[in-house]
């Protein structure tokens, strides 16, 4: 590790808790911690993670740093997954049926991720740490989900009435941008096109940009969201899903059938009353 790389590495790493502290202060002053409690907890978790891992790293205790870093990374990834659900909940807030469906999907996705991580950790070779294998598996799953989140918003924001200046869009943009960079550099490192030092610097730089994005969106005034009633296509999706989730009870069909039977009887009686005089007149004419 060259002196220049070590200086840049430490500078970028130290900038993360400083920038995250600015995000926490901005959220607290603008009461955003009440609207996005999971993201607020995520920022606090990252700051605590730095305050624990960085001193251990400076002391040169590689083993202690290794286990503390990867253990705290698992916690950070789990909180980060909750942030994704929080963003989706804010996006679908006007559409209750879609919001409930999204909650169900995220619950199952979280369980599947944990099961996959546990299986990978249990099947890892003895030479590798199960904690590292589980953390790396969770990390890839969460990063892919974050990429899908920003892609979803870029495609469907118009249908959901979500502005590009909305807070939830800014949170997704920060996470999604960092996830794209991290997955890309990891793939390039696996192919031998990037060195480990370059990967570290690119990841640290991308995360700094993500934090700056969050800080900027915390300062920007939240625009007025488009009236959900004007989003006809999304309203139809929400109503159709609500009808599926809450079908009409069978008992409510009985009055409808009773009314149909009563109308049929009354129509038959009226037809009979009209036909009787006509038949009588036809009989008199014949005689």
Q: DSSP assignment of 147-182, as one string?
A: HHHHHHHHHHHHHHT--TTSHHHHHHHHHHHHHHHH
pLDDT of residue 12: 92
Report which of residues 81 and 256 the model is more confident about. 81
pLDDT of residue 1: 64
- In the predicted model, is pLDDT for residue 198 greater than 80? yes
Q: Are residues 147 and 122 in the same domain?
A: yes
pLDDT of residue 285: 43
Q: What average pLDDT score do residues 91-117 get? A: 69
For residues 193 and 216, give the distance between their C-alpha atoms in angstroms, rounded to a whole number: 33
Q: What average pLDDT score do residues 89-94 get? A: 75
Please write the tens of the pLDDT for every residue from 126-146. Answer: 656 777 777 788 788 888 888
Q: Are residues 233 and 267 in the same domain?
A: no
Among the listed residues 67, 57, 87, 47, the one whose alpha carbon sits nearest the alpha carbon of residue 200: 57
Q: pLDDT band at residue 50, thresholds of 50, 70 and 90? A: very high
pLDDT of residue 73: 86
Q: pLDDT band at residue 273, thresholds of 50, 70 and 90? A: low
Q: What average pLDDT score do residues 160-181 get? A: 85
pLDDT of residue 203: 93
Half-sphere exposure of 97 toward its Cβ, with a 13 Å CA cutoff? Answer: 14
Unique residue bearing structure tokens 């546990």: 118
CB within 8 A of 266, min separation 6: which ones? none
For residues 177 and 214, give the distance between their C-alpha atoms in angstroms, rounded to a whole number: 12
Q: Are residues 235 and 264 in the same domain?
A: no
Q: What average pLDDT score do residues 224-237 get? A: 51
Q: What are phi and psi of 156, to 5 degrees?
A: -110, 5
CB within 8 A of 31, min separation 6: which ones? none
Q: pLDDT band at residue 11, thresholds of 50, 70 and 90? A: very high
Q: Are residues 271 and 206 in the same domain?
A: no
Phi-psi region for residue 81, left (φ > 0), alpha (ψ -120 to 50) or beta?
alpha
Q: Are residues 34 and 56 in the same domain?
A: yes
Measured in residues, the chain has a length of: 287
pLDDT of residue 264: 57
For residues 35 and 91, give the distance between their C-alpha atoms in angstroms, rounded to a whole number: 12
Q: How many domains does the chain have?
A: 2
Q: Are residues 50 and 158 in the same domain?
A: yes
Q: Are residues 92 and 215 in the same domain?
A: yes
Q: Are residues 141 and 211 in the same domain?
A: yes
Average pLDDT, the chain: 77
**What residues make up the domain containing 279?**
249-286
Please answer whether residues 121 and 131 qualify as being in contact, where contact means their C-beta atoms are separated by less than 8 angstroms.
yes
Q: Would the CA dihedral through 180, 182, 187, 189 be positive or negative?
A: positive
77-86, 109-118, 135-144: least confidently modelled range: 109-118
**Angle ∠(141,79,238) on CA atoms, nearest 5:** 75
For residues 105 and 63, give the distance between their C-alpha atoms in angstroms, rounded to a whole number: 38
Q: Are residues 105 and 181 in the same domain?
A: yes
Reading the block at residue 249, the tokens are 């009870």
Neighbours of 241 (CB within 10 A): 17
Q: Are residues 157 and 264 in the same domain?
A: no
Q: Are residues 113 and 40 in the same domain?
A: yes
Q: pLDDT band at residue 217, thresholds of 50, 70 and 90? A: very high
Q: Are residues 116 and 257 in the same domain?
A: no
Q: pLDDT band at residue 286, thresholds of 50, 70 and 90? A: very low
- In the predicted model, is pLDDT for residue 215 greater than 90? yes
């Amino acid at each position: 590790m060259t002196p220049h790389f070590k200086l840049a590495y430490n500078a970028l790493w130290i900038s993360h808790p400083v920038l995250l502290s600015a995000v926490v202060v901005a959220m607290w002053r603008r009461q955003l911690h009440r609207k996005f409690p999971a993201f607020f907890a995520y920022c606090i978790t990252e700051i605590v993670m730095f305050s624990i891992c960085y001193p251990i790293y400076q002391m040169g205790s590689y083993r202690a740093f290794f286990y503390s870093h990867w253990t705290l990374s698992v916690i950070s990834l789990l909180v980060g997954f909750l942030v994704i659900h929080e963003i989706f909940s804010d996006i679908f807030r006007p559409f209750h049926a879609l919001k409930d469906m999204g909650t169900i999907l995220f619950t199952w996705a979280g369980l599947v991720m944990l099961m996959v991580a546990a299986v990978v950790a249990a099947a890892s070779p003895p030479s590798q740490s199960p904690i590292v294998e589980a953390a790396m598996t969770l990390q890839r799953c969460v990063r892919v989900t974050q990429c899908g989140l920003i892609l979803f918003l870029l495609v469907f924001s118009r249908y959901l009435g979500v502005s590009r200046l909305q807070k939830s869009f800014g949170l997704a943009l920060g996470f999604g941008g960092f996830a794209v960079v991290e997955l890309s550099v990891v793939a390039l490192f696996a192919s031998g096109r990037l060195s480990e030092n370059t990967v570290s610097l690119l990841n640290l730089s991308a995360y700094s940009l993500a934090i700056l994005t969050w800080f900027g969106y915390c300062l920007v005034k939240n625009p007025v969201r488009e009236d959900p009633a004007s989003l006809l296509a999304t309203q139809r999706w929400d109503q159709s899903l609500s009808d599926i989730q809450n079908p009409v009870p069978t008992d409510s069909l009985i009055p409808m059938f009773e009314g149909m039977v009563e109308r049929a009887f009354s129509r038959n009686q009226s037809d009979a009353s009209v036909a009787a005089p006509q038949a009588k007149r036809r009989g008199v004419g014949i005689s």
